[in-house]
Structure 1
Amino acid sequence: MTTTKAAARAAVFLAAILSFAAPAHAAEGAGIDGAALSLAWGIPFAGMLLSIAVVPLLAGNFWHHHYGKVALFWALAFLVPFTLTFGTGTASYEVVHAALLEYLPFIILLFTLFTISGGILLTGNLRGSPEVNTVMLAIGTVLASVIGTTGASMVLIRPLLRANDERRYNVHTVVFFIFLVSNIGGSLTPLGDPPLFLGFLKGVGFFWTTEHLFHDTALIAVILLLCFYLLDRYFYAREEKLPPKEDPTPDTERLGLRGLRNLPLILGVIAAILMSALWQPGIEFNILGTHLSLPSLVRDVLLLVFAGISMWITPAFIRERNGFDWEPIREVAKLFAAIFLTIIPVIAILKAGMDGALSPLVALVTGAAGEPFNAGYFWMTGLLSGFLDNAPTYLVFFNLAGGDAATLMEKYATTLEAISAGAVFMGALTYIGNAPNFMVLAIARSRGVAMPSFFGYMAWSCLFLLPCFALLTWLYFL
């Protein structure tokens, strides 16, 4: 499918959702009162997330061809009764607010990083020794905060698979790649992982996570890299005793990096995001009660321009050799359109705090004196991120903690650190915890790697990740 057709289908999908809640006028700031909502309004959100978790396992072929229809079903399952109950004014305000301030900036950033990273090709074929593999994972961990977990995963997973395709034991390499490159490495900037970009859109400083999550990230990355090296050393020694396996992808081309003209575009992405935070001219556009600032609009337009430039300047053979196609980002765009829509009542209920239907959940992350229970925020955000996708989960707990970025960054900095670390780190617990996890899984299986099942992968993650998270809790969140 061409880029134009992919973009057109995504636009039609979003337009179908918005059309149900787009009257000619809407009351200024006519948001819903979360205290008046029952938990039944969260059923479409739960149904959407359970569909993502279960349907691909039980009916993979159906999901591959119809995931957009499943997403649209759950979106309408929320939007139609919501509009009939609260009116088109309230519905339009909530939908436009979520679309303009959260979903569109989120998906535009992912699309841009996905497009630019797809134009960067690592040539040559390294030999997948324990030392080489560990270095590649370390580089990917660092790179993830610069070009995003999606970008770093797409740039490095294929070279890593080529380097290890003559080895008999390579499943653990992909598993640790998902741990480090597709998740944990993206914790230092809003570019790194979708939850942190949502926090940036809510007002969290660009370098706040760099300062406050560096020690968490460095500790867990060092532990996991050491565990991987020892494990890979063990499997490598076992293979040395066996007859050599023929390399299915011999490559005589020198080791190098093609598509270097895309690197300035990554710097442009960083500059555009910083610009949107630092430039505050005070100009806003009122769209059905939602205030869209000029810097945010300029940022999103620039990101799309950078993606277009990348497509224009990158030779076709680079994307072909990268196995680049639009299906991963198309799937993410459609699924997250439904997620950001169906999460609207859940966020409203959480904002109501102890007055809302989720007061028991509020109690789990609140101390006796009403102060935030940081360990509770870390584990609740994290465990739900592993099963419900970390971006919307971050949004839920960010709002549960008060939703005011200035207060969270200063007075409750440890609470925001716990939410951020939980969302980013524990997205690695399952295949569905973060969008790149699914992408890496699909690519690895297509290259013949016998990846573990959903629960088999969880056995790996529980064995290696949960002790690390327990250590972080003891050191920083108790």
Structure 2
Amino acid sequence: MKLLRVAALAALALLPGWALAADIDGSALPVWWGVPFAGLLLSIALVPLFAPIFWHHHFGKVTAGWALAFLLPFAAHFGLGAAGVGLVHALLAEYLPFVILLLALFTVAGGIYIRGSLRGTPALNAGILATGAVLASFMGTTGASMLLIRPLIRANEGRRHTAHIVVFFIFIVSNAGGSLTPLGDPPLFLGFLKGVDFFWTLRHIFPETLFLVGCLLVLFFALDSWFMRRPGEWALPAADASGGAERFGFDGKANFALLGVIVALVLLSGFWKSQVAFDIAGTAVGLPGLVRDLGLLAVVWVSLRITPLEVHQRNQFGWAPMAEVAKLFAGIFLTIIPVIAMLKAGVDGPFGAIVRAVTRADGTPDPAMYFWAAGALSSFLDNAPTYLVFFNTAGGDPQLLMTTLAPTLAAISAGAVFMGANTYIGNAPNLMVKAIAEDRGVKMPSFFGYMLWSGGILLPLFAVMTWIWFL
């Protein structure tokens, strides 16, 4: 029953945005349609800061309130029938596949326990972050985050300062590391489904990724070393902080095979071309996608059946992080519908200035502006739909974007993936990692506090990257 409940919440989390946005004439929408979305973002940012207990118990109700503030006027204006058809299309054609992938990675990674007497030295912590950066492109930022965040926190239990470790973990593992393949981050998976070659991003934004991850690792090592040298940094003796002597190893190793199955299913859905499709309430559901999604749900079921209870207990595995992300993103993706529609209206929409800003005077795309526009919106609007908006703004032809306009596609891809780290809501793993860390007693920065970290560390690096690669 818990699995069904979480799956239902996850389905709601990614329901309506892109498909409904495609049916709305964004050029005719006034800006005030974006008020519920802005209100929800401000609630996520401010309520936990000023009323943390209320938010902890009622954030789902607050989210539902803002969702209704959009849904009721939307149904009244566009009609219940049109809204229903759009919701079915969004659920089956676009959102549900991503939620199922997220659920599969979350479940399988949560079934692997990394044991060992780990002491959180700067070298060990940096090594875990570097390992996560590599894994993120091949098992997804969600999978890598869920696999490594627990042993990283465990290794640093007993230290007085740990929030910076989780912040850099979000920067590197939950975002930047997922930039090299479609398995890494949802925006790139969307591009893969649109026709972008599987290894295109590896060939074209590897230098940018290496620069960003390398700089972040150096900065982290310096900062963590500084904290480590402070008197009384270890509040507990080393043996207590590391959990006692234990050989390094893995429990729940069968889940590694399931991770391989997830990768195979995702690749299959991209390379397998089939004319077989099922019409469900006007929505065509292709056979490759259906096989992938059913296969991923089967992986979730198998993982839960074969993973020993002790592994889940030692991992303190639970559905709360997934449920929290599901509830918050349910409201985000509901209220984001008119915002995406207004962006898709291009120069004729309320956000026409943004679209015009990414085009040079001679009509050619400006990679630097695409990088910052895609990145800025990815920080708050979720990077997957933002990637699609700018992918289509740049012409939407994958063959042209991979060749003649390769710098533009590289800028869109880098902006959408890298700048998802600017806020907690820029990428789903960010909130999951935050929830797990807080559950383990780590005092994480507030919404704006986190943005002070990202603004002070990430934005200067993005500026240097612009000057080197996108001008």
Please confirm whether the aligned pair reaches a TM-score higher than 0.5, indicating the same fold: yes
Equivalent position of 1:163 in the other structure:
155
Q: Alpha-carbon deviations, 1:379-433, whole Å to 9, x = none?
A: 1222233334433433443344344444433443222221221122122223332
**1:426 aligned partner:** 419
Q: Verify: 1:6 aligned to 2:5, yes or no.
A: yes
Give the aligned length: 467
Partner AA of 2:433 in structure 1: V
Residue aligning to 1:207: 199
Q: Which runs of structure 2 are paired with 1:19-168 in the superposition (5 Å)? A: 31-168=23-160
Structure-2 change in CA distance of 1:329 and 1:168 (3 Å)? closer
Task: Name the SS for the 1:167 alignment partner.
Answer: coil
Structure 2 counterpart SS, 1:286: strand
Distance 1:96 1:344, change over 3 A: farther
Residue 380 of structure 1 pairs with residue 373 of structure 2 = yes
1:189 paired residue number: 181
Q: 2:430 aligns with which of 434, 437, 443?
A: 437
Residue of 281, 285, 310 corresponding to 1:288: 281
* CA distance, structure 2, for counterparts of residue 71 and residue 201 of structure 1: 31
Residue 111 of structure 2 aligns to a residue whose secondary structure is coil
Task: Give the AA of the match of 2:361.
Answer: A
Q: Which residue of 2 aligns with 1:417?
A: 410
Matches of 2:236 and 2:23 in 1, distance apart? Answer: 65
Residue 298 and residue 316 in structure 1: after superposition, are their counterparts in 2 closer, same or farther (change >3 A)? same
**2-structure distance, mates of 1:460, 1:160:** 20
Is the Cα–Cα contact under 8 Å of residues 27 and 345 in structure 2 kept in the other structure? yes
Show the counterpart of 1:25. Answer: none
Structure 1 distance, partners of 2:327, 2:191, is 21
C-alpha deviation, 1:330, in angstroms: 1.8
Equivalent pair of 1:152/1:182 in contact (CA under 8 Å) = yes
**Alpha-carbon contact 2:227-2:233 (below 8 Å) kept:** no
Distance 2:386 2:360 in 1: 21
- Identity, in percent, stands at 58
Q: Distance in 2 between matches of 1:168 and 1:73?
A: 38
Q: Following the alignment from structure 2 to structure 1, what is the Cα–Cα distance between the partners of residues 171 and 459?
A: 12
Distance 1:154 1:306 in 2: 16
Q: For 2:244 and 2:58, locate their aligned partners in 1 and report how far apart those are by CA, in whole Å.
A: 38
Range with bigger deviation, 61-70 or 218-227: 61-70
Q: CA deviation at 1:209?
A: 2.2
Which residue number corresponds to residue 363 of structure 1? 356
Aligned equivalents of 1:439 and 1:16: distance in 2?
Answer: 19
CA distance in 2, matches of 1:344, 1:192: 25
Which moves more between the two structures, 274-283 or 244-253? 244-253
Q: Any stretches of 5+ residues in structure 1 without a counterpart?
A: 22-29
SS of residue matched to 1:166:
coil
Distance in structure 2 (CA, Å) of the matches to 1:62 and 1:136: 35
| Residues 1:273 and 2:304 are matched in the alignment | no
Aligned amino acid, residue 460 of structure 2: P
From 254, 261, 270, the equivalent of 2:247 is 254
Please, what TM-score do these two structures have when normalized by structure 1? 0.88
Contact 2:160 2:235 in 1 (8 A): no
Q: Distance in 2 between matches of 1:204 and 1:44?
A: 34
Aligned with 1:321 (options 314, 321, 340): 314
Q: Bigger CA drift: 359-368 or 202-211? A: 202-211
User: Where does structure 2 lack aligned partners over 5 or more consecutive residues?
Assistant: none
* Paired residue type of 1:441: K
Q: CA deviation at 1:101?
A: 2.2
Label 1:437 to 1:10 Cα distance change in 2 as closer, same or farther (>3 A).
closer
TM-score (norm 2): 0.89
Secondary structure of 1:465's match? helix
Shift of 1:188: 1.5
Paired AA for residue 138 in structure 1: A
Q: Is the 8 A contact 2:159 2:235 kept in 1?
A: no
**Higher deviation after alignment, 163-172 or 253-262:** 163-172
Q: Distance in 1 between matches of 2:302 and 2:108?
A: 9
Match of 2:453 in 1: 460
Secondary structure, in 3 states, of the residue corresponding to 2:359?
Answer: coil
Deviation of 1:242 (Å) = 8.7
2:220 aligned partner: 228
Question: Which residue of 2 is the match for residue 24 of structure 1?
Answer: none
CA drift at 1:244: 7.5
How far off its partner does 1:16 sit?
A: 11
What amino acid maps onto 2:72 in structure 1?
Answer: V
For residue 112 of structure 1, what is the amino acid of its counterpart?
A: A
More off after superposition, 208-217 vs 69-78: 69-78
Aligned-partner Cα distance in 1 for 2:28–2:379? 29
Alignment-mate amino acid for residue 426 of structure 2:
G
The 4+ residue runs of structure 1 with deviation greater than 6 A are 14-18, 240-244
How far residue 150 of structure 1 moved from its aligned partner, in angstroms, is 1.9
Aligned partner of residue 205 in structure 2, secondary structure: helix
Residue identity in the other structure for 1:76: L
Distance in 1 of aligned mates of 2:430 and 2:13: 24
